[in-house]
Amino acid sequence: MSADRLSRTFARCAAQHRAALVTFVTAGDPDLTTSPLVLDALVRGGADIVEIGMPFTDPMADGPAIQAGNIRALGGGVTLVRLLAMVADFRTRDADTPLVLMGYFNPILAYGPDKFARDAHAAGLDGCIVVDLPPEEDAELATALTGHGLHLIRLATPTTDVRRLPAIVSGASGFLYYVAVAGITGAGSATADDIGVAVARIKASTDMPVAVGFGIRTPAAAAAVARVADAVVVGSAIVELIGAAHTARANDLPGQVETFVASLATAVRAARLDDAA
């Protein structure tokens, strides 16, 4: 079953005594031809899990970098149908790397939650993170996803208090995504100490792996989070690199992505070894 890809990946990383590296890119960014090459580059660079962003005209939780990525991708003609085709195509080359869709609810609602879950499963997607769908509103999508063996990955944030955490954890699956900064993507960053405290608090109420994202832009920052979390998510820094390489008409855009992701992967893999040394 496709949903096992996530648990297999987390188990493998745990066995290697390291955090997983999760990388985010926007589907169709910078265009439909280059985007699949970028997905492959992420995996070659050492990403353990790939988050694939569904572009939206009104990305309310995203900062300038991912907003720009959305505009490039929508301008290039990406749709949810094309995103799923891209996922299915990726699966012909890579049967193992978990693919998680991240986006806003309206494109999924327009597609139809149940039809989406069925087609997403058939394409080889493993789960979904829907930014503007808190537990209070996610029942319809949760039922559809679970029915087709996909994970609904929920978010916890610095404002999530002890009263809310149990409601978030119950019904979540795959992993829990801790948003380290109260803010938009690509802006600000939390200290590793604060993140460590928050992850410990979440871990006290769930056995699920905890991934940490928002504000992690460099190999050093990724390594610091990798010491305290099960997975480290890097998004805006990669999307910015894609934007810059696209603007510069660089002909090795996927290569640049691979090099940067490799530097993150090396840092994440070495993080806990440094501790032991």
Partner 1 sequence: MASAASLRAGPDARGHFGAYGGRYVAETLMPLILDLETAYRAAQADPAFAAEFDWLMTHYVGRPSPMYFAEALTKHLGGAKIYFKRDELNHTGAHKINNCIGQILLAKRMGKTRIIAETGAGQHGVATATVAARFGLPCTIYMGARDVERQSPNVFRMKLLGAEVRPVESGSKTLKDAMNEALRDWVTNVHDTFYIIGTAAGPHPYPELVRDFQSVIGREAKAQIMEAEGRLPDVLCAAIGGGSNAIGLFHPFLDDESVRMVGVEAAGHGLHTAEHAASLVGGVDGVLHGNKTRLLQDADGQIAEAHSISAGLDYPGIGPEHAWLHSIGRVEYQSATDDEALRAFQLLCRTEGIIPALEPAHAIAAVTRFAPQMRADEIIVANLCGRGDKDIFTVAAALGVAL
Instruction: Return residues touching partner 1 (CB under 8 A).
Output: 56-63, 67, 74, 79-81, 104-111, 131-134, 136-137, 154-161, 164, 168, 179, 182-184, 187-188
Q: Output the smallest distance, CB 17 to partner 1, in A.
A: 30
Residue 187 per-residue DSSP state: S
Whichever of 3 and 131 has its CB closer to partner 1, that residue is: 131
Whichever of 9 and 173 has its CB closer to partner 1, that residue is: 173
Helix axes 236-247, 64-75, angle to 10 degrees: 50
Computed on alpha carbons and rounded to an integer, the radius of gyration of the chain in Å comes to 17
Q: Active-site residue 132, yes or no?
A: no
Question: Using an 8 Å Cβ cutoff, are 197 and 228 in contact?
Answer: no
Burial class (CB in 10 A: 0-12, 13-18, 19+), 53: buried
Question: Using an 8 Å Cβ cutoff, are 184 and 131 in contact?
Answer: no
Q: Output the smallest distance, CB 183 to partner 1, in A.
A: 4
Coil, helix or strand for 132? coil
Element at 212 (helix H, strand E): strand 210-213
Element at 179 (helix H, strand E): strand 176-179
Exactly one of 48, 62, 126, 230 is catalytic; which is it?
62
Burial class (CB in 10 A: 0-12, 13-18, 19+), 132: middle
Question: Using an 8 Å Cβ cutoff, are 29 and 244 in contact?
Answer: no
Q: Active-site residue 274, yes or no?
A: no
Question: Using an 8 Å Cβ cutoff, are 80 and 56 in contact?
Answer: no
Whichever of 152 and 261 has its CB closer to partner 1, that residue is: 152
Exactly one of 4, 40, 48, 51 is catalytic; which is it?
51
Q: Output the smallest distance, CB 131 to partner 1, in A.
A: 6
Question: Using an 8 Å Cβ cutoff, are 47 and 263 in contact?
Answer: no
Coil, helix or strand for 119? helix
Q: Output the smallest distance, CB 159 to partner 1, in A.
A: 5
Q: Which amino acid is at 125?
A: L
Q: Output the smallest distance, CB 43 to partner 1, in A.
A: 27
Q: Output the smallest distance, CB 8 to partner 1, in A.
A: 27
Residues noted as catalytic: 51, 62
